[in-house]
Every structure is written in C-alpha cells, then in structure tokens.
Amino acid sequence: MKKRFEDLFSGLIIILGALLASFSVICILIPNDAIDYGTAGIAIIVSKLTGFNLSLCVLFIFLPFWILGAKRLGKRFGFKSLLGSAVYTIGLELFERVPFELSTEHFLAVAFGGAILGFGLALILRVGGCIDGSEILANLIVDYLSKKTGKNYSLTYILLTFNACVYIVAFLVINQNAALLSLLVYVVATSVITNVTDHFDAIKQVTIITKNPDHIILEIKEELNKTCTLMDSFGMIAGENKTLICYVSYFELQKMKEIISRNKGSFCTVTTIDEILR
C-alpha cells in the first residue's frame, strides 16, 4: 500500500513538473525569443526551421534517447520518463492554444521563465524521471567511459558540451539574441535544478550498512554493473555488520534505492562527491 502511494505521488509530481516546464517554454521563453536546452532545444530549432509541429518534434527527438535510457536504467525509470515526456508534449500543445504570453523586458521574462522551467524539471528529476534526452545520453556516455577506464565521471562536462552545441546552432541559424537569451535560460534553470536535486550532475557516494551484504552486492553488480568497497563495521546496538561503499550517477541512484528497499534491515546514506582522485 505504501509503495502504491509513493508511485501515485511520484506520478503526480512528474505531471506537475512537466506542465510547469511546458508552460514556461510556450508562454514565456518562445514569445521572448529564447529556447529550451537539451533535446527540447534541438526540437524547437527544428520546428522553427521547418514549420513542423513543436510537440511532435519534441516527442520524436526524445524517443530514441528514451529507448536507450529505459534499457539501461530500468522499467521504473522508463515509465516515469515516458509519463513526463507525454505530459510535457501534451502541455506544449495545450499551452499553444492558451491566449497568454508574458510580455515584459526580455531579460526579466527569460530569468523568470528559466526559473519555472528549472523547478519543473527538478521536480521530475527528484522523483526519478526525466524529460530531456541530453541527460540520458550523458548518463550512457559516463557509463561507457566508466566501464572502459574503471573511473567514475560526472555528467557535468558532457551536458555542458551538448548544450554548447545547441546554442552554437541557435546562434548560427536563428539569431544571436536567441542564443544569448537561451544561454541565460540554461544558467537560471540549472541553478534551480542543482539546488532542488542536490547537484544531480555530480557523482553520488552511497554508503550501505547491513548485516547481509552478499545479496546487495550481487544485485548492484547485475543491475548496475558496479562494484563496491566492503568494510567491517560495528554498531553500538546492532553489533557487528558490514559497510558497503558504491559510486553511482544520479539516475543510477534511483535503481540503487530500489535495490536497498528490497533488502530490509539495511541503513543507507547518500553523499554528493565533487571529485574522485586516483
């Protein structure tokens, strides 16, 4: 019963976040010559250049990333991301029919719109969803690099590179003002997301204290393809136990929580890591 309530609550949060994001894009950003970032930004550029329906452009550009992300990050992530993307797409279509535009000084409108967009996206990320393919792509690249090198990487530089390419294209094919205003949107939105989600683009250290580590270690290896550091520890009440330390990305953290929830009697903390030195 508790799990059903949590799933329902997560779904409502995703719907609210997706509606906030689509409202910001249609009613504030686009009327003030700015665009969203990530794959949504690509979709807006394509729509402006071709005249194709914006919501369909967003959906078709996001779908390939969603398929890859659902395979790598699990069914729950896939469902939450698909729900968010569907509501976001419907919201774009609905708000295009609403006779409302925030007509004020561009700088104020874009700052305000970026804050609403960031808050909406942060709500979705907070409950384990995603409506931007660039974040899924960054996670897949980090996962690939980690497998090849054995090192942990942050999503930050990949996301910065991806969005820099989007803004360079906007600068070249739309106009300079649109690119610069959109860059401001990115700065404001990511600042809000960072504060609400506690640096979603950073590496997360998961520390698990348990008496039965073997099953947890096996599930982490099978479902996340990650290894752990295992140490002996002692609790003043529980007595002897084991401490596991594992490093994951923000998106992998959602699956890690599922693993821990299936293994009762475990205690877990999550810490944001700025850098890992080797």
- The model's pLDDT over 71-87, given as tens digits with 9 standing for 90+, comes to 777 777 888 888 989 99
From 148, 177, 197, the end of a domain falls on 197
Same domain, 129 and 37: yes
Same domain, 124 and 252: no
Same domain, 106 and 186: yes
Same domain, 173 and 241: no
Does residue 150 form part of some domain? yes
* Residue 21 reports pLDDT greater than 90: yes
Q: How many domains does the chain have?
A: 2
Contact of 217 with 274, CB cutoff 8 Å: no
Task: Name the β-bridge partners of 233.
Answer: 241
Contact of 25 with 88, CB cutoff 8 Å: no
Same domain, 34 and 52: yes
Confidence of residue 251 (pLDDT cuts 50, 70, 90): confident
Does residue 251 form part of some domain? yes
Does residue 65 form part of some domain? yes
| Domain interval for residue 242 | 203-273
pLDDT for 103 equals 65
Round to whole Å and give the CA distance between 88 and 92.
6
Task: Name the β-bridge partners of 203.
Answer: 273
Domain harbouring 243, CATH code:
3.30.70.120
Strand 267-273 to 203-210 pairing? antiparallel
Does residue 278 form part of some domain? no
From 197, 227, 251, the end of a domain falls on 197
Half-sphere exposure of residue 47, counting CA atoms within 13 Å on the CB side? 20
Instruction: Give residues with Cβ within 8 angstroms of 249, minimum separation 6.
Output: 139, 142, 143, 155, 203, 204
Same domain, 79 and 102: yes
Same domain, 85 and 217: no
Round to whole Å and give the CA distance between 188 and 202.
18
Same domain, 113 and 235: no
Question: Reduced to 3 states, what is the DSSP secondary structure of residue 265?
Answer: coil
Confidence of residue 1 (pLDDT cuts 50, 70, 90): low
From 148, 173, 197, the end of a domain falls on 197
Same domain, 184 and 239: no
**Mean of all residue pLDDT scores within the chain:** 85
Position 176: which residue type?
Answer: Q
Confidence of residue 194 (pLDDT cuts 50, 70, 90): confident
Residue in the block written with tokens 């998106």: 251
Task: Name the β-bridge partners of 244.
Answer: 208, 230
